[in-house]
Structure 1
Amino acid sequence: MNKQLKNTFILTLVLLCTSVSFSQKNQIEKANKEFDKYSYIDARETYLKVVENGYESAEILKKLGDTYYWNSDYDNAAKWYQQAIAKFPTEIESEYYYRAAQSLKSVKKYDESDRLMELYSAIAGDSLVIKNFKNDPNYLESIAFESKGYIVEKVSVNTEFSDFGPSYFGDKLVFASASRATEGQKVYSWTDQPFLDLYTADMDAEGKLSNVEPIGGEVNTPYHESSAAFTKDGSTVYFTRNNYTDGKKGKDKTKTVRLKLYKATISGENYWTNIVELPFNSKKHSVAHPALSNDEKRLYFSSDMEGTLGMSDLWYVDITGENSYSEPVNLGPSINTETRESFPFISEENNLYYSTDGRAGLGGFDIYVTPLDANGLPGKITNLGEPANSNQDDFGFIIKEEKRIGYLSSNRDGQNGSIGDDIYRVQEKCEITIVGVVTDVDSGALLPGAEVSLLDANNNEVVEKVIVGDDASYSFTAACESQYLVRGTKEGYRPEEKVVETPDVTGTIEVPLALKWLDPCPPNDLGCRLNLQPIYFDFDRYNIRPDAAIELEKIAAAMRLYPELIIKIESHTDSRGNDAYNEALSDKRAKSTLDYLVNNRGIDRSRFTEATGYGEYQLVNQCSNGVECTEEEHQLNRRSMFLIMN
């Protein structure tokens, strides 16, 4: 190749690379602008093209992950966050380790998630999220232990798009939906779905929904409406809406339309009017997801306003007049974290249900519950566990606890992130656990091998039956508000039965069964079962008498015949003599009995668990200290016994 041709080739190559470089830069700038406007779907398409063309950077991979994360597509979010961390570890901020960890939880990769949480801890320091994580390293076991029993099923009014945020309105349910938009309605660039409106559905006694209609009046607009809270008399509603009043949008300095809270009052049947914006809104921050206290004097909500600990916190204001409110109060670090707390709901029993991704949950948003004290402040926080929570986003939980029926929102049933949000009906299982131990009524000894049956109210059908193990315990699961019969039986014992009335609240009932032995011999007394004469000793002696030797030969014969027999020897004295002396004497009698069987009758010493003296402490008659008795009566107490131990 001549010099001129070579130079021309190099120049062409440089121009081509420069052109490609400018093209990539323009695409990235375009994607960044879309990203900054929360147009995640458009931004994602461009970022993917840039990556497919062989160009990667920490910024592109992080933002590509974000376009999935903020739309709750955690599988794809985890993929791009992990690539960013692996390829550009020194350029990744701490929050991306956390988002990656949360995303991995949502695809049930809990070990990988925990590893990233450790890395996040090393980078982020002693944050609230890290404290929650470290305070419960075995969070999966804790959540499983505290899980509430619910039956969760989709409601019939869900659509193929996003349906979420249920709230009670008398005998109706109000919720937000993106799929019932009118023709020509604008599409929301964050999710590429139509904007949300509020709808009502009839709700029957079992919580089944039907007859969906848009909420009436002036509430719905061309932009978002969602998450409502109604007063008990049905006259007032607080709801979430984009910053849109009197046909005009309000934007912050980044041209973002924030969320605000509004109030409306009813005028006629299902016609809402008199829309009033709440005074603590601002175009600089979002305020959303209202919830009323039981006395309707306090309004809880979620916001990222100044003073927020994380991305969004739970706040409240006191309602001081018709359109008058106190300054917003943050619920504080006992409940809020550096991430997201949202969707509060106050139940009739004054429990605060809400969702967060700032605690060690199952993945995405998890639903938690905490009781509120007299001042409306939270107490112990508990994860509802499965099945109320899943490895995806679970939020917008509401419930009428007396009826044990409620609703939640979740995208658990699809792979499309928040587009797949659906409403689920929740019914609390009312289950009673009946537990007990089977014992001997006289000795209190456990009775392994006993049979325990749970019978129905009519005593003619066995619901469940178990044979108790070595701990002689049993457990049955029973229905609430029902009657049962618990029956215990064992060979040689009189059956024992107890009637059980179960309450209407989930819980545990203890029903111990004490059975009476019917056989004249106690079940473990070998001497009685072999019809032996007592092994008696002379006064103040421990040698084996000839009459005792005859009976010991019967013991030895039984042990040869049944090689599995394991025996305990117990020896006793009468009450004459001091206590310490009698203890020593009875111990010698027990050892003498053992030595005779081993040395004179050839029984292996390992067949005896122990040979113990009990002194005068287990008399068989009234002949205690100071009581005048005949020699024959005292003789009854100078004895050895042989107890079957297996």
Structure 2
Amino acid sequence: MMRRSLTFIIAITFAGGLYAQEQKSVLQLAEEAYAREEYAVAGALYQRQARGKENKTPVALLMKMAHSYQEIGYFKEAAVFYRQIIARPDRPAAAYFSYGETLRQLEQYDSARQQYALFTTANADSLKLKEIALRGCDSAAIWIRQPAPVQLTPLKELNTPGSDLVSGVLRQGLLLMSNGYRSLNLNGNAEKAPRTDLRTQQPYYKAYMYQQYTQGNATMYLEELVPELLGKNDYHIGPVCMNRTEDTLYATINIQGKNVPFTGKGPSNGVRQLQVYQSVKIAGKWNQLTLLPGINVAGHSSSHAVLNTGGNILYFVSDRPGGFGQTDLWYCERQADGNWGAPVNCGDKINTVAAETFPTVNEEGILYFSSKGYAGLGGYDIYRVKGDKTSWGTPENMKAPFNSGADDIGLVLKNNGPEGYLASNKAGGMGSDDIYNFVDRDYFNRVNHVSTPSVIERPAGGKDPYAPTTPATGTGGGPGILKRPLTAEEEEDKRRLEQLKLLYDYNSAKLIAESRQVLDQVAEVMNRRKDWKIVIASFADSRGSDQFNTDLSALRCFAVIDYLIHKGIDPQRLYYANNGELEPVNKCKDGVPCNEEEHQQNRRSELKIRW
């Protein structure tokens, strides 16, 4: 994950520069780069070494070349090399498994299953991974055909040709981790030539904050996170998490300094491991970053720290001794003196022989994480599990569309519940990892396996606004009727609001610019009329199934509700009715041919004033 290069041409050019500069053989340079896990450079050098040699290239070199392509997310190119390898009589058994992994990442599940079946080994862990992969192929074929009725939308305003992801939620924005923003003029500092990670030929990550809304102002901006604190560090910075009061942060940062401890993985240097740092804000100023005592272990990585909702348990990722696989999830508890206790492995109910990474906490008693050790669609899949510390239920695959054949990581829910984000390097994105947004009105019901009827005029407020509720009495099952006559000014405000229509693009619940401007007017009136309530009635056009259109209209309701909440409107004053394709404003019913403009008139939200 987070590893595809901006362009492989860069790596080839860079590799050529190394060759000319150091006067070493291409193969020697390739082997050194591969040992240091600099896969973009290694792959280009191996390819140069193999050029023109056809079947005379040693199969071990071809395996490293294919693996390099696979590590930086060039799955199609990797598949070509694996296909060449398995056609050779000296092919290693591992080639079948690696080829199967690549095909699964390309979502070619039938072909992947054939390759996994040919893989033989005496290694117990490898056999277990083979069995998991075969089950994954069978499950994926079903999940892809029956995805949840949720639309993942690339967040164009935040995605770059690099790698971008959301790592957490702040009171008024999002925490981001990206290597694609470094050339932007943020905080008055644009980097013309940011330092490059040779593993991927992309810049190093930095942490950012995206301000989505401010109270009464829809101004949005992106800025580097605490540059006076984090900007002093080299190499990768992030992810970063904060506590609820946003006065303590935990940052994942590479080991600093020119040299790193030798690990035996490279002929000239080791791997620059990750460490967890902490900073506390006192009197409005961040203290110096300090290594988190007891969490970091020499010679091993500790990273991706995240707090539970109570703030008393810190989960993190590590490859330290005592784990079950490549990287495991660990935790430590806050002690009476405020320090963190000794790290404890989360156990084999959650950790596997493969890699677990990127934990997030969105709900009380629930952990989200990504793993390669369970039956999944391919690459890293996102899982959700109930429990804490070492006591866990069975992790559940989030399935399609949250997961794909590629790497899917970092599912983060916003505070209001049904809106969230995740990152994926699946095909069709702008860069290596892209941020995807979703609004899912049945999210909690579905993941908790609760069946609920369609929603009609439910209140948006309350502890769980998306569970069945009994609305206030009144016409239409919604809020009650005013007991006094309206003034002339109130009648005019009511007329204005009830004449408004918010339109949507096809198959989308995202508010277009014109709709946001209209809702600014609605918020202004609602802030003046404190006793008013609104029913947001949303509709879809006639294309698609009845159930899909009902669900889509609900997502449109929530898009309006979310915008108004961020404008300061109490959710207890907001009701909604998801009407699907009912009540078209024109002739465009099922089977009636209509143009796009006619269809759009039915993709709408309307407002009704209640008291």
Shared topology, TM-score over 0.5? yes
* Number of the residue aligned with 1:59: 60
- Residues 167, 241 of structure 2: 8 Å contact kept: no
Amino acid of the residue matched to residue 425 of structure 1?
Answer: N
Cα offsets for 1:366-389 (capped at 9, x unmatched): 11111125x563212221122212
Q: How many Å separate the matches in 1 of 2:258 and 2:238?
A: 18
* Number of the residue aligned with 1:180: 181
Q: How many Å separate the matches in 1 of 2:369 and 2:476?
A: 41
Q: How many Å separate the matches in 2 of 1:380 and 1:142?
A: 20
Greater RCO structure (CA 8 Å; 6+ sep): 2
Q: How many Å separate the matches in 1 of 2:105 and 2:224?
A: 33
SS of alignment partner, residue 180 of structure 1: coil
Supply the RMSD in Å over aligned alpha carbons.
3.8
Cα displacement (A) at 1:76: 1.9
* Number of the residue aligned with 2:603: none
Cα offsets for 1:139-181 (capped at 9, x unmatched): 1255359854433212212222111242122222111111233
SS of alignment partner, residue 68 of structure 1: helix
SS of alignment partner, residue 119 of structure 2: helix
Is 1:234 matched up with 2:246? yes
SS of alignment partner, residue 241 of structure 1: strand
- Residues 210, 220 of structure 2: 8 Å contact kept: yes
Cα displacement (A) at 1:36: 0.9
* Number of the residue aligned with 1:369: 384
Cα displacement (A) at 1:358: 2.3
Amino acid of the residue matched to residue 219 of structure 1?
Answer: L
Is 1:429 matched up with 2:441? yes
SS of alignment partner, residue 78 of structure 2: helix
* Number of the residue aligned with 1:581: none
Amino acid of the residue matched to residue 208 of structure 2?
Answer: Y
* Number of the residue aligned with 1:319: 334
* Number of the residue aligned with 1:214: 224
Q: How many Å separate the matches in 1 of 2:347 and 2:355?
A: 13
SS of alignment partner, residue 97 of structure 2: helix
SS of alignment partner, residue 33 of structure 1: helix
* Number of the residue aligned with 2:138: 138
Aligned residue pair count: 426
Cα offsets for 1:89-113 (capped at 9, x unmatched): 5534x4x543322210121211121
- Residues 164, 423 of structure 1: 8 Å contact kept: yes
Q: TM-score, normalised by structure 2?
A: 0.62
- Residues 73, 415 of structure 1: 8 Å contact kept: no
- Residues 218, 271 of structure 1: 8 Å contact kept: yes
* Number of the residue aligned with 1:469: none
User: Per the alignment, do residues 413 and 204 of structure 1 end up closer, same or farther by CA in structure 2, a change over 3 Å counting?
Assistant: farther
Which residue of 253, 256, 277 corresponds with 2:263?
253
User: Per the alignment, do residues 251 and 277 of structure 1 end up closer, same or farther by CA in structure 2, a change over 3 Å counting?
Assistant: farther
Cα displacement (A) at 1:35: 0.9
Cα displacement (A) at 1:82: 3.1
Amino acid of the residue matched to residue 48 of structure 1?
Answer: Q
Q: How many Å separate the matches in 1 of 2:452 and 2:541?
A: 13
SS of alignment partner, residue 260 of structure 1: strand
User: Per the alignment, do residues 121 and 349 of structure 1 end up closer, same or farther by CA in structure 2, a change over 3 Å counting?
Assistant: farther
SS of alignment partner, residue 100 of structure 1: helix
Cα offsets for 1:226-283 (capped at 9, x unmatched): 1122111111111211012xx6654333422111111112246585634334433234
Is 1:303 matched up with 2:318? yes
State how 1:27-46 maps to structure 2 within 5 Å: 27-46=26-45
Q: How many Å separate the matches in 1 of 2:44 and 2:440?
A: 43
Amino acid of the residue matched to residue 109 of structure 1?
Answer: Q
SS of alignment partner, residue 35 of structure 1: helix
* Number of the residue aligned with 1:275: 290
Cα displacement (A) at 1:59: 1.5
* Number of the residue aligned with 1:87: 88
SS of alignment partner, residue 403 of structure 1: coil
Is 1:265 matched up with 2:280? yes
SS of alignment partner, residue 31 of structure 2: helix
Q: TM-score, normalised by structure 1?
A: 0.59
- Residues 137, 377 of structure 2: 8 Å contact kept: no
* Number of the residue aligned with 1:192: 201
User: Per the alignment, do residues 399 and 504 of structure 1 end up closer, same or farther by CA in structure 2, a change over 3 Å counting?
Assistant: farther
* Number of the residue aligned with 2:406: 392
* Number of the residue aligned with 2:188: none
State how 1:57-206 maps to structure 2 within 5 Å: 57-87=58-88, 89=90, 91-92=92-93, 94=94, 96-120=95-119, 124-125=123-124, 127-133=127-133, 138-140=138-140, 143=143, 147-155=147-155, 156-181=157-182, 182-204=191-213
Cα displacement (A) at 1:52: 1.0
Cα displacement (A) at 1:213: 0.6
SS of alignment partner, residue 320 of structure 1: coil
- Residues 289, 302 of structure 1: 8 Å contact kept: yes
* Number of the residue aligned with 2:48: 49
- Residues 252, 283 of structure 1: 8 Å contact kept: no
Cα offsets for 1:278-298 (capped at 9, x unmatched): 433234111111121122221
Cα displacement (A) at 1:414: 4.3
Q: How many Å separate the matches in 2 of 1:146 and 1:462?
A: 24
User: Per the alignment, do residues 307 and 286 of structure 1 end up closer, same or farther by CA in structure 2, a change over 3 Å counting?
Assistant: same
- Residues 300, 318 of structure 2: 8 Å contact kept: yes
State how 1:384-463 maps to structure 2 within 5 Å: 384-400=398-414, 402-414=416-428, 420-430=432-442
Amino acid of the residue matched to residue 362 of structure 2?
Answer: S
Amino acid of the residue matched to residue 347 of structure 1?
Answer: N
Q: How many Å separate the matches in 2 of 1:505 and 1:222?
A: 51
SS of alignment partner, residue 30 of structure 1: helix
Amino acid of the residue matched to residue 295 of structure 2?
Answer: F
Cα offsets for 1:94-133 (capped at 9, x unmatched): 4x54332221012121112112222336554464434534
* Number of the residue aligned with 1:16: none
Identity %: 24
Cα displacement (A) at 1:214: 0.7
Cα displacement (A) at 1:39: 1.9
Is 1:292 matched up with 2:300? no
Q: How many Å separate the matches in 1 of 2:259 and 2:76?
A: 34
Q: How many Å separate the matches in 2 of 1:116 and 1:209?
A: 52
Amino acid of the residue matched to residue 132 of structure 2?
Answer: N
Cα displacement (A) at 1:50: 1.4
The worse-fitting range, judged by mean Cα deviation, of 102-111 and 322-331 is 322-331
- Residues 157, 210 of structure 1: 8 Å contact kept: no
Cα offsets for 1:482-513 (capped at 9, x unmatched): 9xxxxxxxxxxxxxxxxxxxx9999xxxxxxx
- Residues 146, 382 of structure 1: 8 Å contact kept: no
Structure with the larger strand share: 1
Q: How many Å separate the matches in 1 of 2:244 and 2:553?
A: 30
Q: How many Å separate the matches in 1 of 2:261 and 2:539?
A: 68
The worse-fitting range, judged by mean Cα deviation, of 227-236 and 354-363 is 354-363
Amino acid of the residue matched to residue 412 of structure 2?
Answer: I
Cα offsets for 1:546-584 (capped at 9, x unmatched): xxxxxxxxxxxxxxxxxxxxxxxxxxxxxxxxxxxxxxx
| Structure ID, larger Rg | 1
SS of alignment partner, residue 25 of structure 2: helix
Q: How many Å separate the matches in 2 of 1:411 and 1:284?
A: 29
Q: How many Å separate the matches in 2 of 1:43 and 1:35?
A: 5
Q: How many Å separate the matches in 1 of 2:374 and 2:452?
A: 30
